[in-house]
Structure 1
Amino acid sequence: MAKSQSSRTSDDDPKLLAILEGRPCPDCDDGELERGTYKENRAVVCNSCDTPRAQLW
């Protein structure tokens, strides 16, 4: 049986979030992408303009 999403921990975060984390924001000049939440989903969001670049649900 497949593992439910609710049982995931920070140790098994998807690779996409790890790949995007730390990159410069393409929407603003000052921001950097960091892991966070967007609309209650795990996401990578700009720390300056709060624009989400990827979210998982």
Structure 2
Amino acid sequence: MAKSESSATDGEDRQLLAVLEGRPCPYCSEGELERGVYKDKRAAVCDSCDTPHAQLWQPSD
């Protein structure tokens, strides 16, 4: 992947996590989503039950 494509994708990834941040967790009644890491990947994770709602992967080189 070209460097410019990687940068554009990274910005979109951050934007997705920002949109999800602060929303109620769909899996439990107590938590809300926050940006974090799940299995070494950036993710939106519940601050109460630790369930990931979205997880981001980078394509292989």
Tell me the TM-score normalised to structure 2 length: 0.73
Identity %, equivalent residues: 69
1:4-34: CA deviations, max 9, x gaps? Answer: 57xx6xxx46211111011000111110100
SS of 1:53's equivalent in the other structure is strand
What is the identity, as a one-letter code, of the residue corresponding to 1:18? A
**Which ranges of structure 1 fall in alignment gaps of 5 or more residues?**
none
Aligned length: 52
Q: Does 1:55 align with 2:52?
A: no
Q: Does 1:44 align with 2:41?
A: no
Q: Aligned residue for 2:22? A: 22
Name the structure with the higher helix share.
2
CA distance in 1, matches of 2:56, 2:28: 22
| Runs of 4+ deviating beyond 2 Å | none
**Rg (Cα) greater in structure:** 2
**Which ranges of structure 2 fall in alignment gaps of 5 or more residues?**
none
Tell me the TM-score normalised to structure 1 length: 0.78
Backbone CA RMSD of aligned residues: 1.9
